[in-house]
């Protein structure tokens, strides 16, 4: 089994706890005989991060971020990866030595260290592969969604589809791949794809199925939708520090819906 490192916020975090975590990271790195940078936890924009080490088998390192949290890591090649809620990043044990290959299930912002002699590869659940030599971009590829979505901020990337078609993406372009179909479009403000790194939950004509999934990850709740017709609509809104209740109220008002809460589960129904 791979070594698993959990990253995410910890309430009332202090310097003493931070030093304890960094000592644990050092011990993990030593046990795995890997560079310390591969296991270093950086403090993300929403606050400090905590770590829970589970196993010490040197096959690969798996970074996980629970729902409601965000995390940031620095890879051995100095590349920076910010992970959104419910994301998983797998890194090969020999990363930076013979290869620079990672596997992402979730959403992440990548700031890749430039090295043309050793390209950076990202594999995804959609069987889409991204080749990078040094660039910055946001990428979304959750395993519970067939859609692959990448917005390039700087540099260039090559995206290879499941049918082995290679598509070159340029700065300020967005590529969406879903069920063998792909679309490349111009983006006026590519940096808006990164608002989640600043604690902003934004929807822009987002399909309701994706909207619900993102709310579930952001707030750590389960939302049931008995009437699947509801999933055919979309939602546009932006939230910074609103509570779950405030988000659900606006969602219901704008979409003619109502919701009920039973324990930690929410049921969303039509209000007609």
Question: CA 11, 16, 22, 25: dihedral to nearest 10 degrees?
Answer: -70
Q: How confident is the model at residue 34, as a pLDDT? A: 40
What are the domain boundaries of the chain?
3-190, 200-270
Q: What is the dihedral of CA 169, 179, 111, 63, to 10 degrees?
A: -170
Q: pLDDT per residue over 18-61, tens digit each?
A: 344 334 443 444 444 444 333 333 333 333 343 344 444 457 89
Q: Given this model, what pLDDT does residue 30 score? A: 43
Q: What is the rounded CA–CA span in Å between residue 135 and residue 152?
A: 8
Q: Using CA atoms, how far apart are residues 26 and 98, in angstroms rounded to an integer?
A: 23
Determine if the pTM surpasses 0.75: yes
Distance CA 157, CA 154 (A): 9
In this predicted model, what pLDDT tens digit does every residue of 185-204 receive, in sequence order?
999 999 999 999 999 999 99
**CATH number at 3-190:** 2.60.120.1440
The CATH code that applies to domain 200-270 is 3.55.50.30
**How many of the other CB atoms lie within 10 Å of CB of 2?**
16
Percent of the chain with pLDDT over 90: 70
pLDDT of residue 197: 96
Average pLDDT, the chain: 83
Give residue 25's pLDDT.
40
Q: Which residues of the chain have pLDDT under 50?
A: 10-57
Let me know: does 247 contact 254? Beta carbons within 8 Å: no
Pairing mode of beta strands 3-6, 60-64: parallel
């Amino acid at each position: 089994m791979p070594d698993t490192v959990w990253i995410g916020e910890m309430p009332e975090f202090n310097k003493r706890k931070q030093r304890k975590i960094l000592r644990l990271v050092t011990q993990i790195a030593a046990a795995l005989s890997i560079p310390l940078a591969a296991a270093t936890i950086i403090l993300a924009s929403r606050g400090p991060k905590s770590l829970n080490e589970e196993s010490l088998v040197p096959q690969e390192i798996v970074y996980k971020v629970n729902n409601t949290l965000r995390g940031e890591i620095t890879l051995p090649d100095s590349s920076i990866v910010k992970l959104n809620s419910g994301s998983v990043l797998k890194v090969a044990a020999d990363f930076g030595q013979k290869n620079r290959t990672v596997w992402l299930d979730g959403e992440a912002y990548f700031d890749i260290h430039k090295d043309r002699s050793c390209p950076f590869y990202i594999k995804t659940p959609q069987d889409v592969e991204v080749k990078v030599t040094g660039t910055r971009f946001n990428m979304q590829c959750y395993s519970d969604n067939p859609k692959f979505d990448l917005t390039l901020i700087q540099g260039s990337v090559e995206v290879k589809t499941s049918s082995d078609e290679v598509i070159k993406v340029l700065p300020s372009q967005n590529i969406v791949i879903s069920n063998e179909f792909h679309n490349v479009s111009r983006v006026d403000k590519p940096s808006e794809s990164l608002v989640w790194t600043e604690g902003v939950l934004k929807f822009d004509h987002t399909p309701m199925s994706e909207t619900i999934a993102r709310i579930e990850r952001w707030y750590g709740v389960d939302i049931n939708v008995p009437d699947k017709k509801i999933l055919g609509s979309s939602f546009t809104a932006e939230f910074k520090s609103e509570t779950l209740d405030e988000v659900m109220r606006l969602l219901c008002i704008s979409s003619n819906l109502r919701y009920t809460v039973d324990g930690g589960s929410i049921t969303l129904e039509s209000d007609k």
